[in-house]
Structure 1
Amino acid sequence: MEFVLLSAVLVLVALLSLSSPSGKIVSVERRLARLEQKVDLLLSHLGVEVPQIPGMERVHELIRQGKKIEAIKVYRQLTGEGLKEAKDAVERMS
């Protein structure tokens, strides 16, 4: 049940981001951040734990040490994300 709900939210977010013109990217990013917060709250309420990506603790350690650039590099290696996505993710973790 929880997986179906999470999958539906992620599909909706993907469709929203694909259909939005480039001028509204900031608005879509804000909406995505709010949706992510809501999904996190739902998962927490349901007691569902999302497995962490192995090695992500190294990213958190680098952030604590103030080494954001290194943290972004490690995040990209672990996830395969692009530079912008990795930078945004690391900044959210900070």
Structure 2
Amino acid sequence: MDTALIIVLVLVLALGMLVSGIESRLRRMDRRLTDMDRRLGLIIDHLGARPGDGGVEPALRPVEALVRDGKKIHAIKAYREITGADLREAKAAVERMEEWR
């Protein structure tokens, strides 16, 4: 056999093994992501905070009311007082609430 042909065959086999390994890892990651999504759904349902239906955790209802009234700064302040979050986290949470309404 020609040396170049052997090299090509070895490279094709190595590439096939690499692709097979990647596919296997992707399937495992997909299963894990599906499981995490299911668990997150259970947590959201338990908290009664399903995005899109307007529900939030009961302790955050005053924040939701401030967001509805367009009082974003007051909502951020209230969120921080209720949760102990820092400014960046509170701002991001309030902005997510704005998107839900």
TM-score by length of 2: 0.46
Q: Which has the larger radius of gyration?
A: 2
